[in-house]
Structure 1
């Protein structure tokens, strides 16, 4: 299994899929406990949800599971949300705070996974953003995520449907943030927040450098918007998805249309 799959397109839009992969090497799986082997914290079916929404979009997809190593965490293990419950570069618990390992990985094992999985994913991401910036003068990374809408260990209450993250406006031009938020807020069947519990993971924060011609925005969807139930077997709900997909298409289409107005790289 290759660590990353890239589908190249000619649009200035890159879709990042860091958490849809379910591959776990046998040597890693052997050290997971029964809870860990459920792989419950997957961004279930996000690749299917976004498939075919924007002609010409480039897709960078991690094939490995986040329990192997999390492609959306700082490789130097700096916390994204200091003082709050979160998971680490190689998670030790699931999103409910429960252990996932019979034998937790050693520092050497984490370092090996960093080189074997995390680094190739981000090398591919950087290459695609550079390629499209060279072609268009600008590239926009739209990082695709989903999560259960109720996880008391991570946040209080029920998560909004659309959770937009730009690290308080630092990772993209204001027009990108405004356009995305406006489309979501106009969809009265859904709830929306900007830079709430999720302000953008390491991917968004690392690549989002508007002054260098690369803009990044994260969309964290509540899984209730497109799954039948937010529990095993994590069934994709075609009826829900049929309502949601046109809104996501509108977002991506608007971002692609904005790209030529954002100016070239410095």
Structure 2
């Protein structure tokens, strides 16, 4: 099992996919309890959802499940959302606040350090390498981080999420034109709703790599799973009929970003 995959393209756009993997190493899997083994917080079928939408995009995809280590968390363990419920670098609970480890089996501090070096660091080394390569070729790079989540998770947020939650760290991780190119198709999509910098402002990936003054722009798209699954519950079945209208909007977003980055307007 490869820990991560890189598919190189010649677009200025890079798709990050840190949470679609379901691999749990053999030494770790037996330590998860029944709740943990369900892997319910996976970004289910995220690779399939984005497949072929922007065929020239580079993709950096983790195959390791977020319960092993979360590739979109600060490697220091600092919370991205101080004062709010969230999950950490090596989560102890699922998104519903339920324990995921068998009693006495949660990772220790030393083990978290080891997992960070084994799984988190290599993924981000690959991502950083691709950003440098793309920027060298085009003069700029746009990192579009692909995520999905259930619509309702009371432990993390009140109410129901809109279809599209766009995070740019309150505008700090990208140029205003990049934010608009991402949000405009979502805000105009018929029968779908969207928010910019709402509950989700972008994870560590967006905040760490987004340096618009250095011509590297980062955006996180948190998409609700009702927009492409048959149901937001096991067995988490992908539905082409549900997904196709969503893919059209995502296609418009990525086409906008590709066109904007190629235009020279971000230099």
TM-score interval (norm. to shorter): over 0.9
Q: In 2, are the aligned partners of 1:138 and 1:262 still within 8 Å (CA)?
A: no
CA distances 1:6-36 after superposition (whole Å, capped 9, x unpaired): 0000000000000000000011111111110
Distance 2:198 2:214 in 1: 26
Query: 2:40 aligned with 1:40, yes or no?
Result: yes
Distance 2:231 2:2 in 1: 30
1:187 alignment counterpart:
189
DSSP-derived class of the 1:231 partner: coil
Pick from 139, 142, 159 the counterpart of residue 140 of structure 1.
142
Pick from 94, 115, 118 the counterpart of residue 117 of structure 2.
115
- Under a length normalisation based on structure 2, what TM-score does the superposition of the two structures give? 0.98
DSSP-derived class of the 1:221 partner: strand
* Aligned 1:117-132 pairs, distance under 5 A: 117-132=119-134
Matched pairs, number = 264
CA distances 1:211-253 after superposition (whole Å, capped 9, x unpaired): 1111000000010100110000000011011111111111001
Distance 1:263 1:176 in 2: 9
Distance 1:61 1:34 in 2: 26
Note the aligned Cα RMSD (angstroms). Answer: 0.7
* Aligned 1:68-107 pairs, distance under 5 A: 68-102=68-102, 103-107=105-109
Distance 1:196 1:151 in 2: 15
Give how far 1:263 is off.
3.8
Pick from 148, 151, 158 the counterpart of residue 156 of structure 1.
158
**Which of structure 1's runs of 4+ aligned residues deviate more than 3 A?**
none
* Aligned 1:227-238 pairs, distance under 5 A: 227-238=229-240
- Under a length normalisation based on structure 1, what TM-score does the superposition of the two structures give? 0.98
User: More deviation in 131-140 or 180-189?
Assistant: 180-189
Give how far 1:186 is off.
0.6
